[in-house]
């Protein structure tokens, strides 16, 4: 059996904050580092490449910013396409994150999509907790808390 449609990763969440605040949380690393990655070489802006670091895991990723539509949409290459769509619902914001362009065999593409779905759901949930309640859940770090440990405890 082969795939008829390439797999997508999708995460959605209603965040009870105004769209300007939610949008900024994903563009401004001073906020994003409170719920996702450890640090960044800069803010997202069209045509720029920034590096995101997950210090706990000892990894980083280069992110190329393809498009930003203020308070509406962000599109990056990381290394596959990822898009955020923001929809205002009064004082709340509905956020949808879609990752696509997975490569490899059908099984590998599905595995990548599932992994990305899980990851983006952690990110969007952590963002919600931080923006709505000021709580830093550390979901991304706690997903694999012993990754930086060499002793296997």
**What pLDDT does 1 receive?**
66
Other Cβ atoms closer than 10 A to 17: 19
Residue range 126-145: mean pLDDT, rounded? 96
List the domain boundaries for the chain: 9-142
1 class by beta-carbon count within 10 Å (0-12 exposed, 13-18 middle, 19+ buried): exposed
**What pLDDT does 147 receive?**
85
Residue 96: name the closest of 62, 51, 127 by CA. Answer: 127
* Rounded (5°) CA angle 42-60-122: 90
Distance of CA 119 to the CA centre of its chain: 7
Query: What is the enclosing helix (H) or strand (E) of 21?
Result: helix 19-27
Residue range 75-104: mean pLDDT, rounded? 97
Query: How is residue 56 written in tokens?
Result: 């706990």
Question: Are the beta carbons of 27 and 74 closer than 8 angstroms?
Answer: yes
pLDDT at residue 10 is higher than 80: yes
Give the pTM: 0.93
Say which CATH superfamily domain 9-142 falls into: START domain (3.30.530.20)
**What pLDDT does 40 receive?**
98
């Amino acid at each position: 059996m082969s795939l008829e449609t390439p797999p997508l990763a999708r995460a959605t969440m209603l965040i009870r904050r105004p769209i300007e605040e939610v949008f900024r949380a994903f563009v401004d690393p001073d906020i994003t580092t409170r719920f996702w990655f450890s640090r960044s070489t800069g803010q997202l802006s069209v045509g720029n490449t920034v590096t995101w670091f997950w210090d706990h895991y000892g990894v980083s990723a280069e992110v190329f910013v393809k498009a930003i539509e203020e308070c509406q949409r962000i599109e990056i290459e990381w290394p596959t396409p990822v898009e955020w769509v923001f929809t205002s619902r009064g004082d709340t914001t509905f956020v949808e994150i879609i990752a696509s362009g997975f490569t490899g065999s059908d099984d590998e593409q599905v595995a990548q999509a599932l992994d990305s779905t899980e990851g983006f759901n952690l990110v969007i949930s952590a963002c919600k907790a931080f923006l709505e309640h000021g709580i830093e859940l550390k979901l991304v770090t706690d997903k694999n808390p012993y990754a930086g440990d060499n002793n296997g405890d």
